[in-house]
Structure 1
Amino acid sequence: MTLLTGVPLLVGTLQVTHAPEARAASHPVNVAINAMSPVAPGKDDTVTVSGTLTNDTKSAITDAHVGLHRGAALNDRSSIQAVTKRTGYQPGADGKEIGDHTEKIDRLDPGTSRTFTLNVPVKDLGLSSDGVYPLGVTLSGHGPSASYDQVLGIDRTLLPWQGSAPAKKTQLTYLWPLISTTHLTAETGADAQQTPVFRNDGLASEIAPGGRLQKMVELGKNLPVTFVVDPDLLATVEAMTKPYHVHDPDGPVGKNQAVAKQWLNDLQNAVKGHEVVALPFGDPDLASLAHHGKSVPSSLGHLGPATELASKAVDTILGVKPRTDFTWPVDGAIDSSIVDVATSAGAHNVITRSDSLRDNDLPYTPTAARPIGGGNTAIVTDAQLSRAFEGDMSKSGNASLAIQDFLAEAQMIGLENPEQQRSIVVAPQRMPSATQAQAMAGALRNLEQAGWVQPTKLGDAAKAKPDPAANRQIPGRSSYPDVLRQQELPTDAFRQIEDTQSALDDFKVVLAHPERVVTPFGNAIMREMSTSWRGDSQGATAFRASVRDYLDGLTKKVRLIPKSEATLSGRSATIPVTVQNNLLQGVQGLTLRLTSSQPNRLDVGKSQEIKVDGGHSQSFKFETTANANGLAWVTAQLYTADGTPYGEPMKFPVNVTEITATVMLVIAGGVLLLVLAGVRIYLQRKRAAAEDTGDEENGEDNGGATAEGEGDDSGNPGGDSPEQPSDPTPDTGSEKSGPSGSGEKVDR
């Protein structure tokens, strides 16, 4: 999109120097001005113009020469744009050739190119008054269809001329943006240091020597600019200074710590003495928020924390206190809803652009600051100056013309109303290339030498006295450019962001150290709203999905271990349920609750508070009571402190085999029989003991026991052996073959 919007400014250059098939109809030779110096000459200087001639025809060009033409001074800024768009030689507008300062070209063969250089003293240019003059370089000679001299090709540039410094210099503020795309993910390594994980290692090429961001820091250090920083870039580079991992085919280990340390060190030195403006963390897309995010309740709530984080990040990393009272919608395009969102987090200065907040009726360029109500100020940047370097600045001709055009526009602003000092702000493209940055720096250095402007900070520009005639009416939503609207984040994106934030809120409350999760995920959620996703809808979708998937993966590391069928064979039993925590940190504040599908059959007991250390599993026992037999399903579910279900529920069957009344009677009868048997044995032993005592008493009355070795009355030798005192009492009486004696009872 940036390249497309940059085309109008450079269309003249592109038509003249980079479209030979279009030029061939009017001129057979491509004349390209590659450089002019000095850019803004003094009265004693000599202007040097160099470039290239290319013969696009099939015939040789002979007896030709290169000459310089100076047109009349231009009247206003619109005439500057007309010169750069003009094609073909126009004698009245281009002026006559300046004699005695030509370069002879004897022959230019078909399809060949050669360089030229013209040197013309300023005194020979006939500059009568201060102003912007068009300069044309032509090749005149004998073409393939004529034997007389004619203009065979032309290219133009601009010569700003001012003999002395103006009485009131234009105040000019130039923003120097340090912004990149999203590089960090929400992932961190499974270690105590939480090693960050990058989407790729592409940022290294931007901050390495010769890279885009390295050039921005190197050049900006010695320029009168205001640094505009996305704090996310600083946080990302700081993460690179330590061990980090990348999702990269070349390997998972990042190796650019030295490059990151050098860039941060250079930036810390570069910002000294400069004003630093910090955008909200992640550079949120304010237009997308206004047009689609407002319908999702929580979306605007991210701006406040993003602004607070921005101040802390810049102060911590760069050691400077930034300004956070400025917001910068994409390309400075605004409407009333964008202004409302942009100022909702306390930033009361909105950086817009003059092609959005137009001043069509004014014959001059007004001061940038405009009060727009509610204590807010619109900082209206100049569209022509801001877009001057959006083209392909790798081609020297494009860069040269862009620099000349920039200085010409800046000078014309001062000449429009020389008695009224104006404050002008320039906001270039968000992410200039290295060659664009070099062209921008060249323009600012030459402008400083010219002495037409007075460099100022953005904060001073915001406080400049506003022009009462300037437009302050914020355009309606219908005026927002369609090409920008098509690149906005859709409403579904903000719903996904809201869901991820809600899941994060539910997750963090159960963690022993929530900051280990809240910081990386909170930053990642802010990055999901970044302006850097414009033009990369697929990348934005993939990034949102990756953040949510990783969060879900962490959440599932705390789970209930599945159970098989449990069997209860009594009225009460204990059911264990195991909670597994595969996180590195402990979880707490969770409640484990069991629910029975048939509570009248099975009471599963009370819920329990859960606390499990990191990397551990723990079983929690529930005392259950069975009221009836049969199958019951039990659901185990974890809950957060506010009653929100956590994770997936776990179901398992419980088979209750309760003992019936009949079985209980049988068991009771068996117990009774055992008791009666015990009583019977006891009574038998007692009776037997009594009988033994009676026999002993009868023996004493008959003269005592018989002598050892003697038989008894039964005729058995020796008779029955008497029981020894140590022998146990027999369970039953002595069994004899003969009849029982008088009064004796024997249980058979």
Structure 2
Amino acid sequence: MAEAAGFQGSERPRGRWLRRAAALIAGVPLLVGMLQFPDAPEARAASGPRTVDVSVDALTPTAPKKDDTLTVSGTLTNDGDSPITDAHVGLRLGPALSSRSAIDSAAKRTGFSSADGQEIQNRTQKIDKLEPGVSRPFTLQVPVKDLGLGSDGVYQLGVSLSGRAQGTSYEQVLGMKRTFLPWQTSDAEKKTQLTYLWPLISSTHLTAETDADAEQTPVFRNDNLAAEIAPGGRLQQLVALGKDLPVTFVIDPDVLASVDAMTKTYKVEGPNGPTAGKNQAVAKQWLSQVEEAVKTHEVVALPFGDPDLASLAHRGKEVPSALGHLGPATTLAAKTVETILGVKPRTDFAWPADGAVDSSIVDVATSGGSHNIIARSDSLQENSLSYSPTAARPIGGGNTAIVADARLSTAFEGDLSKAENSTLAIQQFLAQSLMVNGQEPGRQRNIVVAPQRTPSVSQAQAMAAGVKALAPGRWAEPLNLGGAAKAAPDPGANREVPGAGEYPDSLRRQELPTEAFEQIQKTQAALDDFELILSQPGRVVTPFGNAIMREMSTEWRGDAAGAAAFRTSVHSYLDGLTKNVQLIQKSDATLSGRSATIPVTVQNNLVQGVKGLTLELTSSQPNRLDAGEPQQIMVDGGHSQSFKFDTTANANGPVQVTAQLYTSDGKPYGRPMSFQVNVTEITSAIMLVIAVGVLLLVLAGVRIYLQRKRAAARRDEEEADDGNGGDGETDGDGPVQPGDPEPDTGSESTDASGSGEKVDR
């Protein structure tokens, strides 16, 4: 990026000439010494400006004023092979630097040169004999007025160790460390408006799993989140430091939701299964601290789970429904922050990984409702301006790119656990911010700083020190992100978003693969089908929906294996739940007759009931066996229930029958269950024979009945005749005549009738 020539009048020509002349004179003894010892290569190899490692561990004040005393302390370590004698450590003030790139060059330079300036006299510290491998601390104090600082600007400040290595009889610079001293004697004419983003973002901690209880006890992947929010932890430090700084909190609501889940009963996965979590008090304390901190700060909520916009744009857009998660994630973000923290966040900002943007990323971000895209100046680069322009600039379609300054945004990356690295980072951050202001002192601009998403504790502490050092406001004043988005853009600033082919390969390699979004789609489809059958769908849809959003998180970059394992675990757990509703395998059945009832059992091992399912039997040969009508299914949680199908047989023989559950939209649910039905139908000829036999038996019974009735009537007549005094047998109205036929039944008897008969009396 083009930048200004620097501060006007940063160094007088006369002063520059004098310093260069002094450096030349100082180099004469060194040249003479080299000419005197041409045959001592070992000594030369063991000495030089990098023989002693000079570590600058502290520098106060970071941006001194005229009446201050500058204190520089650190450590000296002999990395050579021979002792260092007659040594002393001192400060060297280099010239005022002319540009931002000059700061970069000075920070990278390792060898000693005249550009490092003259040693400040009478402010040195003697160092005793320094043996190889030995370290020794030092502290230098110099009144600022003795530094000889000129006009406002950024000066190179060096700490050098001068002495004699073994085999040399002359003094030389054996160690050198450079840093920067921002110098501003009074308030700038137009202060730079500085917007610093303060991220509360973490990796994925919650799984989709919950206990099968009324409270749906959540299960965490590990206990790392508890360590982050505990006193001294990364997230705890970010909140504690940020609450007193003029920053804008940028929050992934998933962090809040996860910590909120920890305030209640929760479990943590372990080698022997989930165990009870014990950090409820820590979780409550951290949420209370966040709630207090955001009362006086602007809050920007990223879509829930912080989805990787670049991965969605480059790999996910080809997968149906992948982009459909952004809108719900944004809606859930606002609801989560407002519910837990009691503040209404801004949800119209998108933050792609490392601020790298292209046209497809912008399209995806805006499709989710974000019309302010946080980019970075190494992505949306300047081509013509000689200064760093205001961050906001329109990019078409009613959208605004908020272009963060790349140098300031990356100032606190790397290992800052060492005091030296932290000190140097702070000084370089301040130097770059002052140089930005000095580029165009009569033009007020807004500069945005978007640091790494998940800074470590040491990085957060260095960030806080840098922001706090700007607080006096000599050249910068704070502005929140909302204000930065509304700032008037520079007319000449670049507004052209890079094409998709210009996205950095190093970042593209970190993206989620297309297969990841295909797996997410399968999980979502399975969840949609499962939801249709549940009596309490929220118990399943909420944890799994959140887990699916977490599968797309930007924090999976650099952890492809972990991302794949998480996706697999979510899908496998959902698959296991769906299999808790199933058909019980039925043994083969035999039907004797034209119709029969076939029972089929549905088992529900879920905690909640299922409904909206249809159970259907399908006959492989409908012309031989009609399996009956489909039935609507409703089974309570933890129960099994049988459903009976009225079947009709039309022919003998085995028939394959398949039972299948279907959702309300006609999709098969679960695996089908098949069994065989053997039909043994009775034929029409046999039925006719049986019918004729039954008819004959009925006719025979009628004949016997009539015969007995006639016989009873004759006996009654005979008894009547005997009662009238006749001495002969009568038949009907007269006596029985010889030759009359004998009756066809025996005389009436009071004995029981014969077997198989029933006599009516």
Alignment TM-score, normalising by the size of structure 1: 0.90
Q: Alpha-carbon deviation of 1:23?
A: 9.8
Check whether the contact 2:390–2:447 (CA below 8 A) recurs between aligned residues: yes
Name the SS for the 1:636 alignment partner. Answer: strand
Q: Helix, strand or coil: the match of 2:228? A: helix
CA distance in 1, matches of 2:696, 2:46: 124
SS of equivalent residue, structure 2 residue 240:
helix
Per-residue CA shift, 1:474-505, capped at 9, x if unaligned?
11112111111111111111111111111111
**Structure 1's 395 and 46: CA in aligned 2 closer, same or farther, altered over 3 A?**
same
Partner of 1:142: 164
Conservation of the 8 A alpha-carbon contact between 1:337 and 1:477: yes
Size of the alignment, in residue pairs?
Answer: 694
Matched residue SS, 2:507: helix
C-alpha distance in structure 2 between counterparts of 1:115 and 1:315, whole Å: 51
Structure 2 counterpart of 1:203: 225
Distance 2:490 2:205 in 1: 42
Q: Secondary structure at the match of 1:292?
A: helix
SS at match of 1:277: strand
User: Is 2:634 the counterpart of 1:616?
Assistant: no
| Preserved CA contact (<8 Å) 1:685 1:729 | no
1:57 to 1:730, Cα distance in 2 relative to 1, 3 A: closer
- The reply to whether residue 30 of structure 1 matches residue 74 of structure 2 is no
Preserved CA contact (<8 Å) 2:47 2:174: no
Q: Which position in structure 2 is the counterpart of 1:393?
A: 416
Distance 2:343 2:351 in 1: 21
From the superposition, tell whether residues 106 and 513 of structure 1 become closer, same or farther in structure 2 (CA, over 3 Å).
closer
The aligned residue for residue 117 of structure 1 is 139
**1:451 partner SS:** coil
Which residue is 1:71 aligned to? 94
Contact preservation (8 Å) 2:392, 2:403: yes
Paired with 2:657 and 2:271, the residues of 1 have a C-alpha distance of: 47
The whole-number CA distance in structure 1 between the counterparts of 2:481 and 2:753 is 117
Q: CA deviation at 1:730?
A: 5.5
Distance in 2, matches of 1:106 and 1:305, equals: 67
Counterpart of 1:296, as a letter, is V
Mapped to 1, the partners of 2:599 and 2:46 lie a distance apart of 87
> SS where residue 449 of structure 1 aligns?
coil
User: Is 1:96 the equivalent of 2:96?
Assistant: no
Q: Deviations over 1:450-479 (max 9, x none)?
A: 521110000000000100111111111121
Match of 1:172 in 2: 194
CA distance in 1, matches of 2:638, 2:747: 72
Q: Does the Cα contact within 8 Å between 1:390 and 1:436 map onto a contact in 2?
A: yes
Residue 50 (str. 1) matches residue 73 (str. 2): yes
Report if the CA contact (8 A) 2:372-2:401 is conserved.
yes
1:675 aligns with 2:675: no
Which residue number corresponds to residue 415 of structure 1? 438
Q: Secondary structure at the match of 2:119?
A: coil
The AA in structure 2 aligned to 1:484 is L
1:18-38 Cα offsets, whole Å, 9 max, x none, are: xxx999665321111111110
Counterpart position of 2:551: 528
The match for 2:179 among 145, 148, 157 is 157
Matched to 1:596, the amino acid is S
Three-state SS of the structure 2 residue aligned to 1:108 is coil
Q: Which moved more, 1:371-380 or 1:689-698?
A: 689-698
CA distance in 2, matches of 1:406, 1:163: 18
Partner deviation per Cα, 1:360-410 (whole Å, 9 max, x = no partner): 332111000010000000000000100011111110000000000000000
**Secondary structure class of the residue paired with 1:197:** strand
Residues 289-688 of structure 1: matches in 2 within 5 Å? Answer: 289-449=312-472, 451-688=474-711
Q: Distance in 2 between matches of 1:31 and 1:422?
A: 37
The answer as to whether partners of 2:267 and 2:277 remain within 8 angstroms in 1 is yes
Question: Quick one: distance in 2 between partners of 1:671 and 1:572?
Answer: 23
Q: Is 1:260–2:302 an aligned residue pair?
A: no
Cα offsets for 1:419-452 (capped at 9, x unmatched): 0001000000000001110000011111113521
Corresponding residue number in structure 1 for 2:236: 214
Letter in 1 for 2:52: V
Amino acid at match of 2:168: A
Contact 1:688 1:730 (8 Å CA) reproduced: no
Q: Is the 8 A contact 1:688 1:731 kept in 2?
A: no
The change in CA–CA distance for 1:27 and 1:187 in structure 2 (over 3 A counts) is closer
CA drift of 1:657 comes to 0.6
Q: Residue deviations 1:648-700, cap 9 Å, x none?
A: 11111111111012221221232123213312321332233134224324533
Tell me, in whole angstroms, the C-alpha distance in 1 between the residues paired with 2:45 and 2:681. Answer: 97
Question: 1:728 Cα shift?
Answer: 6.5
Query: What is the Cα deviation at residue 704 of structure 1?
Result: 7.7
Give the C-alpha shift of residue 124 in structure 1: 0.9
Q: Distance in 2 between matches of 1:106 and 1:252?
A: 58
Q: Percent identity?
A: 69
SS in 2 for 1:58: coil
Does the 8 A contact of 1:232 with 1:282 survive in 2?
Answer: yes
- Mapped partners of 1:119, 1:435: distance in 2: 26
The residue type equivalent to 1:384 in the other structure is R
**Secondary structure in 2 aligned to 1:403?**
helix
Kept after mapping to 1: 8 A contact 2:46/2:81: no
CA distance in 2, matches of 1:24, 1:413: 39
Residue of 248, 252, 259 corresponding to 1:230? 252
C-alpha distance in 2, partners of 1:650/1:557? 15
User: What do residues 173-208 of structure 1 show as CA deviations (whole Å, max 9, x unaligned)?
Assistant: 000000000011111111011111111111111000
**TM-fit CA distance, 1:599:** 0.4
- CA-based RMSD: 1.9
Instruction: Measure the CA separation in 1 of the matches of 2:47 and 2:518.
Output: 55
> Cα distance, 1:703 vs. partner?
5.4
Match of 2:737 in 1: none
Residue of 101, 105, 123 corresponding to 2:127: 105
Contact (CA 8 Å) 2:47, 2:165: kept in 1 or not?
no
Cα separation, partners in 2 of 1:82 and 1:667, compared to 1, 3 Å: same
Residue 59 (structure 1) aligned with residue 82 (structure 2): yes
Identify the residue that residue 194 of structure 1 maps to in structure 2: 216
Q: Which residue does the alignment assign to 1:133?
A: 155
2: CA distance, partners of 1:54 / 1:594: 84
Aligned partner letter, 2:105: A
Please report how far the alpha carbon of residue 532 of structure 1 lies from its aligned counterpart in structure 2 after TM superposition.
1.1
CA pair 128-730 structure 1, distance change in 2 beyond 3 A: closer
Separation in 1 of the partners of 2:612 and 2:561? 38
Larger mean Cα displacement after TM superposition, 476-485 or 207-216:
476-485
- Note if contact 1:196-1:244 (Cα within 8 Å) is conserved in structure 2: yes
| Letter of the 1:232 counterpart | D
- Whether the 8 Å contact between 2:520 and 2:567 is mirrored in structure 1 is yes
Q: What is the distance in 1 between the residues matched to 2:478 and 2:192?
A: 8
Q: Secondary structure at the match of 1:185?
A: strand
TM-score between both structures, scaled by the size of structure 2: 0.89
